[in-house]
């Protein structure tokens, strides 16, 4: 379990800060799927009251990041392969809309800003800290969502990306994924720089499809390994 003093909360608005810090701790992998988020743990970690913690947990449960199990409490949510596939389907459409809108409506300064963040991603090496790399991807999407000039797409995609960050962390375990990600995002940026809305739409769809392929392969493998382990723990059937 994490024990990071940087997560502790300073004054107002406390509930909002706890919500943001807890979300960050989950999507960055400080808390992993299945971890128990007890009141005592979170109160000690963030230095706030139980009521504030429970309100933040309720909000993140609504986002799908936390599961509250009756009589056991909150846990970091798992994503099954079937759930992950649905998340990627939604993300693909929303991200394509955001990319298309950005190509059509972003300012030249925003396009330059997007290019600058991409260059930082392209310069990253496979050994880069996972949290740092996810932070770069988050900055890329922050610019994309701002420049697409569609508040509804931005709001919905932002929520999907929060859920999807756990999956992005999963794909980073594939050593071949980072260079392919760079190639895919370069295609998006270059289409935007040409103001090619249709090309940006397709590049975004293709990027999400490739990410989904890697994540689902890993998740299916993990699910298979868990099933095998569970079968290994079952008692042998009684002899006739």
Q: What is the pLDDT of residues 86-141, one digit of tens each?
A: 999 999 999 999 999 999 999 999 999 999 999 999 998 876 677 788 889 989 99
194-232 burial: b if 16+ Cβ within 10 Å, else e? eebbebbbbbbbebbebbbebbbebbeeeeeeeeeeeee
What is the per-residue pLDDT for 209?
A: 96
CA–CA separation, 203 vs 55, rounded Å? 39
Q: Nearest to residue 25, comparing CAs of 50, 51, 52, 46?
A: 46
CA–CA separation, 21 vs 15, rounded Å? 10
Average pLDDT, the chain: 87
Residues 100 and 196 in one domain: yes
What is the per-residue pLDDT for 239?
A: 42
Residues 88 and 187 in one domain: yes
Residues 23 and 135 in one domain: no
With respect to residue 2, please indicate whether it lies within any of the assigned structural domains.
no
Residues 109 and 162 in one domain: yes
Domain housing 68: 7-76
What is the per-residue pLDDT for 197?
A: 98
With respect to residue 233, please indicate whether it lies within any of the assigned structural domains.
no
Residues 173 and 146 in one domain: yes
- Give the CATH number, domain containing residue 54: 1.10.10.10
- CA angle, residues 133, 99, 143, in degrees to nearest 5: 50
Residues 117 and 201 in one domain: yes
CA–CA separation, 175 vs 191, rounded Å? 26
Residue 15: pLDDT band (50, 70, 90) is confident
Residue 173 has pLDDT above 90, yes or no: no
Residues 113 and 205 in one domain: yes
Residues 211 and 116 in one domain: yes
Q: What is the pLDDT of residues 36-83, one digit of tens each?
A: 999 999 999 999 999 999 999 999 998 888 999 999 999 998 888 898
What is the per-residue pLDDT for 222?
A: 76
Residues 40 and 143 in one domain: no
With respect to residue 239, please indicate whether it lies within any of the assigned structural domains.
no
Looking at mean pLDDT, say which of 83-87, 162-166, 195-199, 224-228 comes out highest: 195-199
Residues 127 and 177 in one domain: yes
Residues 161 and 201 in one domain: yes
With respect to residue 193, please indicate whether it lies within any of the assigned structural domains.
yes
With respect to residue 237, please indicate whether it lies within any of the assigned structural domains.
no
- Give the CATH number, domain containing residue 169: 1.20.120.530
With respect to residue 231, please indicate whether it lies within any of the assigned structural domains.
no
Residue 238 has pLDDT above 50, yes or no: no
Q: Which of 76, 104, 136 is the last residue of a domain?
A: 76
Residue 11 has pLDDT above 70, yes or no: no
Q: Nearest to residue 219, comparing CAs of 94, 69, 35, 80?
A: 80
**For residue 147, is the peptide bond before it cis, meaning its omega torsion is within 30 degrees of 0?**
no
Residue 8: pLDDT band (50, 70, 90) is low
What is the per-residue pLDDT for 234?
A: 53
Residues 155 and 198 in one domain: yes
**Residue with the larger pLDDT of the pair 27 and 182:** 182
| pTM (predicted TM-score) | 0.75
With respect to residue 38, please indicate whether it lies within any of the assigned structural domains.
yes
Share of the chain above pLDDT 90, in %: 55
Structural domain total, the chain: 2
What is the per-residue pLDDT for 208?
A: 96
Q: Which of 42, 76, 110 is the last residue of a domain?
A: 76
Q: Which of 26, 49, 76 is the last residue of a domain?
A: 76
With respect to residue 240, please indicate whether it lies within any of the assigned structural domains.
no
Residue 184 has pLDDT above 50, yes or no: yes
Q: Average pLDDT for residues 133-155, to the nearest whole number?
A: 94
């Amino acid at each position: 379990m994490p024990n990071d003093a940087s997560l502790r909360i300073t004054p107002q608005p406390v509930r909002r800060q706890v919500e943001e810090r807890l979300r960050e701790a989950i999507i960055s992998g400080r808390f992993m799927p299945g971890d128990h988020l007890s009141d005592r743990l979170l109160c000690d970690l963030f230095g706030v009251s139980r009521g504030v913690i429970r309100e933040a947990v309720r909000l993140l449960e609504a986002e799908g990041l936390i599961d509250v199990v009756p009589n056991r409490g909150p846990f970091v949510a798992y994503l099954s392969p079937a759930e992950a596939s649905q998340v990627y389907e939604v993300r693909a459409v929303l991200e394509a809309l955001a990319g298309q809108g950005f190509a059509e409506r972003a300012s030249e300064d925003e396009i330059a800003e997007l290019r600058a963040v991409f260059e930082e991603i392209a310069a990253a090496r496979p050994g880069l800290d996972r949290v740092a790399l996810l932070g770069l991807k988050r900055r890329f999407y922050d610019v994309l969502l701002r420049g697409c000039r569609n508040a509804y797409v931005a709001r919905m995609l932002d929520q999907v990306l929060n859920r999807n960050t756990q999956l992005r962390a999963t794909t980073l375990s594939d050593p071949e994924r980072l260079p392919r990600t760079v190639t895919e995002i370069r295609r998006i940026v270059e289409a935007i720089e040409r103001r090619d809305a249709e090309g940006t739409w397709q590049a975004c769809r293709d990027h999400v499809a490739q990410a989904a392929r890697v994540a689902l392969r890993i998740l299916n493998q993990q699910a298979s390994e868990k099933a095998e382990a569970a079968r290994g723990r079952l008692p042998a059937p009684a002899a006739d």
